Amino acid sequence: MKFFADTAEIDAIRELAATGLLDGVTTNPSLIHKSGRDFMEVTKEICDIVDGPVSAEVVALDHDTMMREAEVLRKIADNVCIKVPLTIDGLKTCKALTEDGTMVNVTLCFSANQALLAAKAGATFISPFVGRHDDNGFDGMDLIRDIRLIYDNYAFETEILVASVRHAGHVLGSARIGADVATMPPKVILSLANHVLTDKGIEGFLADWEKTGQSIV
């Protein structure tokens, strides 16, 4: 499974990139607003740090304006992935962009039928929102499971990019089902390394090492 950071915070992206665990970044207007940075500037900076796809979202709702915005965004860097909403105009834009060789992330997916449409439109990534799905009384993992089954049935190449990831359980569930990517806040990625028994093991090893009176360097 690939890990994308869902953030526009440059320092957090640099920290994760240094670990070798980061495969890409997703952004959206809300994350850009939270960063307090210029949209084009911060997107270019992220693209310079990360080799993998960096999702930059259009804000228009009609196809023609989406295409004009996408033309500007994809000039930022070769690894920009244009993010469009899962609407009819968004799917039309997805089809046009993918036919032109541009990566497209279709976002705000809440049903398997929507995911089917995105795959037929040639989306590079589909972003089902598991956390928000859970918030509304549904099981986000059931959504991922349905999409995986449908995509495998028809050999669609669209990658399942699990979004709205809130905790490690979402990551584990998605990995078990076979999702291709999980995008999540940096703190969730870092939390995957945490385990109380690991902490206790380190504590014990260090205590015993101190008793030896030795030093490695």
Report pLDDT digits (tens) over 85-102: 999 999 999 999 999 999
Tokens 């953030």 correspond to what residue?
Answer: 7
For residue 205, the enclosing domain spans 2-212
Q: What is the pLDDT of residues 73-84, one digit of tens each?
A: 999 999 999 999
Contact criterion met (CB below 8 Å) for 128 and 144: yes
Domain at 141, CATH number = 3.20.20.70
| Residue 168, domain member (yes or no) | yes
Total number of domains in the chain: 1
- Predicted confidence at residue 28, as pLDDT, reads 87
User: What CA–CA distance (Å, rounded) separates 55 from 68?
Assistant: 16
Q: Encode pLDDT of 111-153 as tens digits.
A: 999 999 999 999 999 999 999 988 998 899 999 999 999 999 9
C-alpha dihedral, 193 to 194 to 196 to 199, nearest 10°: 70
Q: What is the pLDDT of residue 42?
A: 94
- Reply yes or no on whether 92 is catalytic: no
Q: From the centroid of its chain, how far is CA 113?
A: 21
DSSP 136: T
Q: Which residue, among 132, 59, 61, 133, has the nearest Cα to 91 in the 3D structure?
A: 61
pLDDT for 168-203, tens place per residue?
Answer: 999 999 999 999 999 999 999 999 999 999 999 999
| Residue 217 domain-assigned (yes or no) | no
Write out pLDDT tens, residues 200-217.
999 999 999 999 999 999
For residue 36, pLDDT over 90 is answered with no
Residues 6/85, Cβ–Cβ less than 8 Å: no
- pLDDT above 90 covers a percentage of the chain that reads 94
Q: Annotated catalytic residue: which of 34, 75, 83, 92?
A: 83
- What's the pLDDT tens digit per position in 38-69? 999 999 999 999 999 999 999 999 999 999 99
Q: Give pairs for 149-156: CB < 8 Å, separation 24+.
A: 150/112, 150/115, 150/116, 150/119, 151/115, 151/119, 154/119, 156/119
- Kindly state the tokens that stand for 164: 């709205």
Phi, psi (rounded to 5 degrees) for 88: -60, -40
Residue 122 in tokens: 């040639």
Quick one: tokens of 87? 């609407």
Reported as a pLDDT band with limits 50, 70 and 90, residue 6 is: very high
